[in-house]
Amino acid sequence: MSPTTEDLRTAIADELATLEPMTDVVGRARVAGRRRLRRRRTFRAGASAAAVAVVAGLGYAAVDNDPPAAPDVATDATARSPRPPADPRRTTAEEAVARAMASPRITEQAWLDAFAATWEALLPRRFGGVTLTREPGSAPLLRTVSGAPRLDSWLTIGGYEGPRADQPGTSGCAGLRQVAAEADFRWDVTDCVDGTIAGELDYLADREFTVGGNQSDNPGRGRHGAGVLVVGDNFFLEWGVQAVGPDAEVGLTADEMATMLEDPLFLHLAEVGTRYFAERPDEPSIVRQVDPTWPLS
Amino acid sequence: MLGRTGHGADDARDDFTVFAGAAQQRLFRQAYLLCGDRAAAEDLVQTTLTAMYVAWPRIEDPAPYARRTMLREHWRTARRRDREQALHRLGDGAGPDRDPARTLTVVEALGTLPARMRAVVVLRYWEDLSVEQTAALLGTSTGNVKSSASRGLAKLRDALGDSFAERVSVVPTSQEEAP
């Protein structure tokens, strides 16, 4: 004898029947939505002004306009925005990734080297490269050398399930194994503004001010950030950037973010990251050891 | 689906109020099942409606869009909360305490499931979506939905134990899905 799903529905209905209705938040949502729209318009206006400055010859490239595909990159099925291999920054990134992947176990240093080298190659040139920063209580961040504002960036990869089931979203050996075995892993950018869900993966980029992990519409109290979330079967990858300093908005457009993430360099970095996060020693807040298998291998 | 207007930015959002007013309590109940906490559920609904207000002129079918947006926002918030809780546990070495003798409610038991599994259980057994609809909504395979639903139910039974059977009529299991 065992409770059925109908019993479950009944029990949920009974509990929800005791739930007081929520207060009306439609008005607050409209106000917050209008504020967000105003911010976007302001940001776009600023971006347009920056583009005019570029045309005037101030020496900054708003986006990386490298020429199209080299043949060896074009054969990569994942390449949507291939670039030529001649750029020494790309060569450095590819070598850092190759070194990490060749090692029996990817160390934190090898992961950060690959992360930094890949960011050096992918970020628009106006950011002038990256340096590693460590803040108390925080994972290592890559901070851009220049840019207005400078950016902090991080990358997190994990699974949804596993022994540490009380930490959904940041742990899970079984989840990583499952995604490695089953997922049709691919990049699929559908919408980098509002996060329309793709067939297999959610690929999102949203921008917000964050204060202590919560959204805020008060720019004076928070740091502006942008994030991209990739969710597959029991797998997630989160790339975030935050403006360094208050009252500054991340000067990285959704198109630029999409271009970076569509690049095969980023996919290779994600492969390194999947192995690294899977192999790293057991830590209370992160994943445990698993047998890593990258979906594309 | 609501009739949509195609006018200017403000006019195009007039029917947002109609949709949001009609949908917010239903969204709140779903959010409560996902979050297990009233305040968090209210925040989640407001965040969802705010995102929908911004995207409103481009939304063709608001109801499924609201579900997707709510799930997305819930996972994002859950990950942040989990990271913060993990940091706190590092600091004091202790997790949340619960009296083992106290009976869990179904909503509390749902809170013991991983976020994605909880979403599958809520969508399948509360929202009454089909396996295919749930898979499409979560961007995953039907096999994964079946597997998650089956394991989620098993975990709920473990978490609720005899108390669940005592509160509802109990009949032999015969219609549940295989993983």
Q: What is the pLDDT of residues A249-269, one digit of tens each?
A: 777 776 677 678 767 788 788
B9–A285 C-beta distance less than 8 A: no
ipTM reported for the complex surpasses 0.95: no
Mean local confidence (pLDDT), A37-63 = 35
Token pair belonging to B137: 């909504």
- What is d(CA B69, CA B138) in angstroms, rounded to the nearest whole number? 11
Of A65, A63, A89, A85, residue with least CA distance to A75: A85
- Whether a cis peptide bond, with omega within 30° of 0, leads into A149 is yes
Burial of A60 (0-12, 13-18, 19+ CB in 10 A): middle
Mean pLDDT of A102-124: 91
> Which whole-number Å values give the CA distances from A91 to A112, A121, A174, B91, B130, in the listed order?
16, 9, 34, 41, 49
The pLDDT confidence band at residue B81, using thresholds 50, 70 and 90, is: low
CB B175 within 8 A of CB A5: yes
Q: Is the pLDDT of residue B25 over 70?
A: yes
Closest CA to A116 of A139, A93, A150: A93
pLDDT at A233 over 50: no
**More reliable by pLDDT, A29 or B103:** A29
- Residues in A touching B37 (Cβ below 8 Å): none
Look up residue A255 and give its two tokens.
Answer: 């198109």
More confident residue, A285 or B76: B76
Indicate if the pLDDT at residue B156 is higher than 70: yes
Residue whose token pair is 């994002």 = B76
Mark yes or no for CB contact A2/B173 under 8 Å: yes
Which tokens belong to B134? 């749930």
**Residue A181: C-alpha distances to residues A166, B114, B143, B148 (Å):** 24, 20, 13, 16
Per-residue pLDDT tens digits for A127-186: 988 998 876 656 678 899 988 888 888 887 765 443 323 333 333 334 433 433 333 333
Three-state DSSP class for residue A73: helix
Report the percentage of chain A scoring pLDDT > 70. Answer: 45
A11/B164 CB distance under 8 A: yes
**Which chain A residue lies closest to B139 (C-alpha atoms)?**
A200
Q: Is the pLDDT of residue A188 over 80?
A: no
Contact residues, chain A, for B107 at CB < 8 Å: 12, 15
A-B contacts at Cβ under 8 angstroms: 196
pLDDT at A231: 53
Task: Give the residue among A197, A274, A277 at the shortest CA–CA distance from A229.
Answer: A197
Alpha-carbon distance of A244 to B113, in angstroms, equals 36
pLDDT of residue A155: 82
Contact map slice: B 41-100 vs A, CB within 8 A: 41-42, 45-47, 49-55, 58, 68-69, 72, 75-76, 78-87, 89-90, 95
> Which of the 8 DSSP states describes residue A28?
H
Q: Hey, where are the domains in chain B?
A: 1-95, 98-179
Helix runs in A18-87, H state only: 26-55, 71-74
Which residue did the predictor score with more confidence, B102 or A125? Answer: A125
- Closest to B29 (Cβ–Cβ): which among A16, A194, A213? A16
Residues of chain A in contact with residue B140, where contact means CB-CB under 8 angstroms, are 200, 232-233
Cβ-based contacts of A203 with chain B (< 8 Å): none
Name the CATH architecture for the domain at B1-95. Answer: Orthogonal Bundle (1.10)
- CB pair distance less than 8 Å for B53 and A33: yes
**Beta carbons of B82 and A201 less than 8 Å apart:** no
CB A241 within 8 A of CB A151: yes
B113 shares contact with chain A (CB less than 8 Å): yes
> Nearest-CA distance from A162 to chain B in Å?
9
What is the token pair recorded at B112?
Answer: 């013991």
- 137-176 in B: which are within 8 Å (CB) of A? 137, 139-141, 144, 153, 156-157, 160, 164-165, 167-176
Average pLDDT, whole number, for chain A?
Answer: 61
Nearest to A97 by CA among A130, A128, A124, A119: A119
> What does the pLDDT read at residue B166?
60
Q: Is the domain B98-179 a CATH 1.10.10.10 member?
A: yes
Give residue B68's pLDDT: 83
| Residue B104: Cβ within 10 Å count | 17
